[in-house]
Structure 1
């Protein structure tokens, strides 16, 4: 039978079996049928572990061992109740039942560890907030009422062991749900199985004091445990059972409005519990509420700090993207303008020269047309890298646009700037050349005027045959004197 259909038949058959169990009369046959449903879930889980490898196979093995512990408890319960004729609670059957929780929790934490996305510290804090918040109602409704009032120490220990084991299992489930990852059908079925198990435990713990276990003669309170077995087996047989570790395409979990609402509800459980006790006239759980509120406060502050850190990191990254050319990794025009303004102030304050050159790769369009745009992009990136490795500490190379670059050279006069440009020409990759226009700041002109003079010198270099550096003529004095503004040519 096709694997995509087996799990459906198993799930449908399991649901029918649960319905049939509820209708069976009390007796050894009914409890044996109960145990057989659990063993079927064990077989499906261990079969998934046998056919899968790595962490996902180990996770299914741990879950299978946990279900085996519960099924062993079912068989022992049957023996004590129908054959030995003794009260199964408390008994060694409880030890077998309780073995389910550490194995399953270990599987959940293993899955959470491998599904964890980079930078998922927030998910860990979210799971801690939810777990701490849910522990309070567990304490008030299930744990505290079971402290004292039991016939023996063993009964007391077992009565407390189940809700405490539920807390551990709940923490593992919340941790797994918080880390994100792909929610495959098998993953969703496992989640449903564990929620059914936890619901059954809540009912079982509430029934321990002796409220009857059946309603109208039907064992409906056993249904959540049986549904857990069935759904777990269906999850193991589902074709997506091997995809439990598949990462979500969205990466790290996003702090959505739904997650914020859930955390808000959980945080309000502490004051809500106190308010409900006041309104109902019940004894106040002052210390549990106080401790829980303090822990939640610390966790919420830590979560806010994590969100603030992420926002600052994203702002830094956006600022870096806004200031950096994506293709070459060099500073872009915006960064160039800011840096040039700073260098103006420094040169004026220290009385040092400031040179600027505009570089243009020769015949770049022909290179693109011949080798393709991807090769052209590689040339731009390669030239930027090669030139950057040649620069000194204060020199800055920025991409100006297209195949043009601007080189700012603080502290260098025209001769020193030309020597540096000669070194850059020698380092140009792919056997290519560039032309450059070089201008020296006169101490008065605006950055745009300095760039304009360098640009005019670049055009002169292109017109003179390319593969050369041309010095820009000095700026025209404001008085309008007839100083010759034509650039002088120096071939390197």
Structure 2
């Protein structure tokens, strides 16, 4: 008989929360229901703390802030039942409001820290996306929740301010949630559970505020939404993927996905949609609020488009660099070197200046590669390219990887003697104690680039046949003649 599968902590908590939600629906309003709801709320706090200690994410501060925010919210629920249901208080604001209002900044800051940890530095796209949703939903909140709260301000300033804090807090938490989800470097179960928990909490809170303002909603569904929120918070913290939620995300997460486009489009349409809803319900339209929110949304959408264009330009430039450079050494690749040589040949003809090319070949590279391995060979190529680039800096000489262990050096304006001196300096900085052979050719003022490089290549092979670790210069008058010898900079290897 197979051994029964043991539930993981997050699975057990989710299953227990689902059972508690069903029991809460079956229980009538009263003490048992209030006790059950308090147990669910406090267990979510305990689960969030336990998940943080169990999985030990590298950036745990955000989760501890979230635990504090959930604790404040749970204490608000417990004190609400004690003060208003059991003791029959009627004062507003009261003790529960202190905890509820405190919970908003704690949860918002926790999410902001998650977003900044997942995407360090400037996150222009995430900020704009969050602002678009905040403005869109802010208009809805203003129309149906904030205005009733403002109506109380002249009569009761504390009550009006507390009533105003709830919808404003919801909008801020929503904006931070968008930043977290846009910054997440992966689609993990913890990210999905965290997003669902926040959405349930914000929906339940909005339903509670609407019911408080208009008294037309059954509180049972509000409690069910809050219960689902608590269960999802605890499940997200207990899931093992929570430790990766704040890991720095790759650049590819900047991409503008179809889902993000749909969400931002819907948020942008909330402004005219709110006006249409007011007209359909026969309510006095909030004309100036709609005008202001529409203008802000327009500016934000334009800014988002500008950010996308900037990202496109960066990617285009990156692709251009990848097409021009050798991926291992970062030097110009052979195709770019051909184009650069042709450009300098035209310049030399126009200015009447000297044009010199040299082919450099690392000595015994195959033996080095076969003996120490390909990674060591790659390190030698990268090290040589880096050292030579530094040594040539300011000389106006171009260096490219010609292929394999061969490099092409092109100089416009320097004579062959000066280029040969530069080659001597390059020998002194070759990594790993290695050497190179070089073939040098001076342009005769007529030949094309192919023949010029071919002469340098023949001079290179003459240097190899002469014992390596030396330079040979090709004659310009007769390309088929034997290259003239130059004394080696080091003894032959």
TM interval, shorter chain, is 0.7 to 0.9
Match of 2:411 among 409, 412, 422: 409
What per-residue deviation string (whole Å, max 9, x for no partner) do you get for residues 271-307 of structure 1?
3333444455542222112221222222222222222
Match of 1:458 among 460, 464, 481: 460
User: 2-side partners of 1:194 and 1:418: how far apart?
Assistant: 69
Closer/same/farther in 2, CA of residues 458 and 9 from structure 1, 3 Å limit:
closer
- In structure 2, the residue matched to 1:491 is 486
1:62 aligns with 2:57: no
- In structure 2, the residue matched to 1:107 is 110
Match of 2:424 among 397, 402, 422: 422
Written as runs of structure 1 = structure 2, the 5 A alignment for 1:207-286 is 207-209=211-213, 211=215, 214=218, 219-248=220-249, 252-278=253-279, 281-286=282-287
Closer/same/farther in 2, CA of residues 349 and 88 from structure 1, 3 Å limit:
same
Closer/same/farther in 2, CA of residues 404 and 280 from structure 1, 3 Å limit:
same
TM-score (norm 2): 0.86
User: 2-side partners of 1:66 and 1:3: how far apart?
Assistant: 31
User: 2-side partners of 1:417 and 1:82: how far apart?
Assistant: 92
User: 1-side partners of 2:143 and 2:426: how far apart?
Assistant: 75
CA displacement at 1:210 relative to structure 2: 5.0
TM-score (norm 1): 0.87
Closer/same/farther in 2, CA of residues 3 and 115 from structure 1, 3 Å limit:
farther
What per-residue deviation string (whole Å, max 9, x for no partner) do you get for residues 309-343 of structure 1?
22222222222222222222222222322322332
Written as runs of structure 1 = structure 2, the 5 A alignment for 1:42-441 is 42-49=45-52, 56-87=59-90, 90-116=93-119, 120-148=123-151, 152-209=156-213, 211=215, 214=218, 219-248=220-249, 252-278=253-279, 281-391=282-392, 393-441=395-443
What per-residue deviation string (whole Å, max 9, x for no partner) do you get for residues 330-366 of structure 1?
2222232232233223323332222222223333333
What per-residue deviation string (whole Å, max 9, x for no partner) do you get for residues 22-55 of structure 1?
3323333432333233222233334445557677
- In structure 2, the residue matched to 1:481 is none
User: 2-side partners of 1:269 and 1:423: how far apart?
Assistant: 68
Moved more, 396-405 or 38-47: 38-47
User: 2-side partners of 1:467 and 1:154: how far apart?
Assistant: 87
Closer/same/farther in 2, CA of residues 33 and 431 from structure 1, 3 Å limit:
closer
CA displacement at 1:435 relative to structure 2: 3.1
Closer/same/farther in 2, CA of residues 94 and 318 from structure 1, 3 Å limit:
same
What per-residue deviation string (whole Å, max 9, x for no partner) do you get for residues 396-443 of structure 1?
222212222222122233333333333334444444443333222122
Closer/same/farther in 2, CA of residues 297 and 348 from structure 1, 3 Å limit:
same
User: 2-side partners of 1:188 and 1:279: how far apart?
Assistant: 35
1:39 aligns with 2:39: no
User: 1-side partners of 2:319 and 2:46: how far apart?
Assistant: 52
Closer/same/farther in 2, CA of residues 375 and 193 from structure 1, 3 Å limit:
closer
What per-residue deviation string (whole Å, max 9, x for no partner) do you get for residues 361-391 of structure 1?
3333333334433333333333333333433
What per-residue deviation string (whole Å, max 9, x for no partner) do you get for residues 236-281 of structure 1?
4444444442345676442212212221221122233334444555
What per-residue deviation string (whole Å, max 9, x for no partner) do you get for residues 189-222 of structure 1?
232222111111122112114535548xxx3332
| SS of match in other structure, 2:350 | helix
Indicate conservation of the 8 Å contact 1:474/1:485, yes or no. Answer: no
User: 2-side partners of 1:86 and 1:320: how far apart?
Assistant: 70
User: 2-side partners of 1:485 and 1:40: how far apart?
Assistant: 89
Closer/same/farther in 2, CA of residues 485 and 73 from structure 1, 3 Å limit:
closer
Greater Rg over alpha carbons, structure: 1
User: 2-side partners of 1:399 and 1:14: how far apart?
Assistant: 63
CA displacement at 1:486 relative to structure 2: 1.0
CA displacement at 1:111 relative to structure 2: 1.6
Indicate conservation of the 8 Å contact 1:49/1:58, yes or no. Answer: no
Moved more, 68-77 or 47-56: 47-56
